[in-house]
Amino acid sequence: MITPDVLTEFIRKSMPDAAVTVTDRTGTMGHLKETGGSEDFHGKNLLDRHRRIYQSLDVPMKDGRIHALELTARTRDEA
C-alpha cells in the first residue's frame, strides 16, 4: 500500500517540475491512477513518458507497495 503523497514524492525526486494527481481506483491504495505533467515529456512519445514515470517508481513497484498503476502523462500545455 502506498499513499498518494509518498507516490508523488517518488516522482518529484526524478521530475521536480511534475504536477502529479493520484487517484486511488479501488480503495486499497494499490491501484492508482496517476496523472503527471512535466516539461520532461516534451518530444517524448507516450511509451517513453510512461517509462520515465515507471523508472521514478522503480523502488515502490519492486517492493510491492504498488500493485497496479494507470498512468496519464502530459506536458503542461497538453494538461
Taking residues 31 to 60 in sequence order and writing x for each that binds other proteins by CB under 8 A, - otherwise, the string is x--------------xx--xx--x---x--
Stretch that binds other proteins, among 7-15, 16-24, 36-44, 64-72 (CB under 8 A): 64-72
Q: How far is the CB of 3 from other proteins (least distance, A)?
A: 20
C-alpha cell of residue 16: 521536480
How many residues sit close enough to other proteins to count as binding (CB under 8 A)?
13
Distance CA 70, CA 4 (A): 13
Largest CA distance in the chain: 35
Distance CA 2, CA 16 (A): 20
Nearer to other proteins, 12 or 50 (CB): 50
- Indicate the DSSP class of residue 2: -
